[in-house]
């Protein structure tokens, strides 16, 4: 398609009081970016809508993550699959060619000038290029490296219907877990988790019985592994349900990140340290960037599992950059199951 002279992008218009809503963002038209030496011009095709943007809008976690805080006037960013429009000029070390599909982090805009070193060319490892936006590498790395799921384990996954959890239940099953339990806030999502995503049982937040009571019923013999996306009372319940020697991998803190009463940068929780000691519970935080071998290993296994039909990639595609602010609000509100992707 002809290259335009302008590009649209989504910017933060104002800092919200509480959770961000569509009115806190604006879609602006800008001149088409001009690549500097060593940069490629990329036409973005799809970008992922991350709930973690709320933390960056709230001020970020200085020095704790590689991502800067977002201020009014800043363009949002995130994982993106795009097509190379023009290869880097003056960069003999780049192998990028016009027409290549690449993964990079300058999403939330239609076109981006991206340093070649920050573009990952996409081979045919995965049958659909959109699948490169799946949030599977983090739970895969956490379940294989941090929690080390073993055949026969009972696994509890908090936030089981989100972008991480919708894959984590399937991954745990494929790694040999005997029983997989997840949590969600929606009865409809709970039904889909059990019927489509490899879960044996789904626990509902705010459904009457406490999380601890529901988990005791779903796992009467206790849990061996926790993959925690949420924290809060769900992490407390997991400590109560843990068997001796349980392994906990913490990959998210949505109880704090998506709290309307905070700024998304803290997630305090009170744990019974006696139980941690007596049960010899191992708790480890895990980041997707922690083990560089996890991503290529995940991509290879994910591709094989997708082609064989042993795993699915639950996702929703939202058409048009003008709908991206609404999509972020829907993600933060828990409206969708799986990963939310804006299609340009």
The CATH architecture to which 137-285 belongs is 3-Layer(aba) Sandwich (3.40)
Start-end ranges of CATH 3.40.50.720 in the chain?
A: 137-285
Q: Which CATH class is domain 6-134+313-343?
A: alpha beta
Residue-level pLDDT at 90: 63
CA angle in degrees (0–180, nearest 5) for 152-251-56: 165
Task: List phi, psi (to 5°) of 298.
Answer: -65, -45
Q: What is the pTM of this model?
A: 0.95
Residue-level pLDDT at 208: 84
Question: Quick check: 11 pLDDT over 90?
Answer: yes
Q: Three-class SS of residue 246?
A: strand
Give residue 206's pLDDT band: very low, low, confident or very high (50, 70, 90).
confident
Question: Quick check: 66 pLDDT over 80?
Answer: no
CA distance 122 to 102: 5
Residue 206, CB-side half-sphere exposure with 13 Å CA sphere: 2
Residue-level pLDDT at 264: 92
Residue-level pLDDT at 67: 81
Work out the number of other CB atoms within 10 angstroms of the CB of residue 332: 20
Give residue 63's pLDDT band: very low, low, confident or very high (50, 70, 90).
low
CA angle in degrees (0–180, nearest 5) for 296-81-69: 90
Mean pLDDT of 7-20: 97
Both tokens assigned to 88: 């880097």
Question: Quick check: 93 pLDDT over 70?
Answer: no
Start-end ranges of CATH 3.90.180.10 in the chain?
A: 6-134+313-343
Question: Quick check: 105 pLDDT over 70?
Answer: yes
Mean pLDDT of 101-111: 98
Give residue 91's pLDDT band: very low, low, confident or very high (50, 70, 90).
low
Residue-level pLDDT at 159: 98
- Pick from 331, 270, 305: which is nearest to 140 by CA? 305
Work out the number of other CB atoms within 10 angstroms of the CB of residue 3: 11
């Amino acid at each position: 398609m002809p290259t335009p002279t302008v590009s649209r992008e989504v910017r933060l218009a104002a800092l919200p009081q509480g959770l961000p809503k569509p009115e806190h963002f604006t879609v602006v038209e800008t001149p088409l970016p001009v690549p500097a030496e060593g940069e490629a011009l990329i036409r973005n095709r799809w970008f992922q809508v991350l709930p973690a943007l709320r933390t960056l809008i709230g001020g970020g976690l200085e020095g704790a993550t590689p991502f800067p805080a977002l201020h009014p006037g800043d363009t949002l960013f995130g994982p993106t699959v795009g097509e190379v429009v023009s290869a880097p000029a003056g960069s003999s070390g780049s192998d990028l060619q016009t027409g290549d599909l690449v993964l990079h982090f300058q999403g939330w805009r239609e076109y981006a000038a991206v340093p070649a070193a920050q573009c990952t060319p996409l081979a045919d490892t995965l049958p659909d290029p959109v699948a490169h936006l799946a949030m599977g590498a983090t739970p895969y790395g956490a379940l294989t490296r941090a929690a080390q799921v073993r055949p026969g384990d009972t696994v509890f996954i908090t936030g089981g219907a989100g972008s991480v959890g919708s894959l984590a239940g399937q991954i745990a099953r494929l790694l040999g877990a005997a029983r997989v339990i997840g949590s969600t806030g929606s009865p409809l999502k709970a039904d889909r988790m059990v019927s489509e995503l490899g879960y044996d049982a789904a626990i509902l937040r705010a459904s009457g019985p406490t999380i601890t009571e529901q988990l005791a019923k779903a796992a009467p013999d206790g849990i061996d592994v926790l993959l925690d996306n949420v924290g809060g009372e769900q992490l407390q319940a997991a400590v109560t349900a843990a068997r001796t020697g349980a392994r906990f991998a913490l990959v998210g803190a949505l109880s704090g990140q998506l709290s309307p009463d905070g700024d998304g940068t803290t997630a305090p929780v009170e744990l019974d340290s006696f139980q941690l000691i007596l049960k010899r519970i191992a708790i480890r935080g895990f980041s997707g960037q922690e083990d560089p071998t996890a991503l290529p290993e995940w991509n290879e296994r994910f591709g094989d599992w997708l082609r064989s039909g042993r795993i699915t990639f639950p996702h929703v595609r939202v058409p048009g950059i003008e709908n991206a602010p609404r999509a972020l609000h829907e993600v933060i509100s828990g409206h969708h199951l799986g990963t939310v992707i804006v299609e340009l």
